[in-house]
Chain A
Amino acid sequence: MTRLGHWIGKHLVLALGALVLLYMYIPNFIVALMSFNDASASRNLYSFQSFTWDNWLNPCEPLGMCESLRVSISIGLIATLVATVLGTLAAFALVRHRFEGRSTMNLLVFLPMATPEIVMGSSLLALFVAAGMGGRLGFGTILIAHILFCLSFVVVTVRSRLSGLDSNLEKAAMDLYANEWQTFWRVTFPLVFPGILAAALLSFSLSFDDFIITNLNSGQTVTFPMFVWGAAQRGVPMQVNVIGTVMFLAALAIVIIGEVGASRRRKLLASR
Chain B
Amino acid sequence: MNDAPARALDAAPVPAAPKVKSRGLFPAGRTGAAMRAALLPVLVIVAWQLAGSGGSLAGGVLPTPDRVWDAWVVWAFGPQGMGLNPYSGTWLSNVLFSSMRVAQGFVLAMAIGIPAGVMIGWSRAVSGTVDPTIQLLRPIPITAWLPFSIAVFGIQDMGAIFLIALGGFYPVVVNATHGARDVDRNWIRAAEMMGASRFDVLRRVVLPAALPAIFTGLRIGLGIAWTAVIVSEMVAVKSGLGYVLWDAYYVGRMDVVIADMLSIGAMGLLSDRLIVTVEHWALRWRRLQSASR
Q: Is B truly associated with A?
A: no
Binding site for B on A (CB under 8 A): none
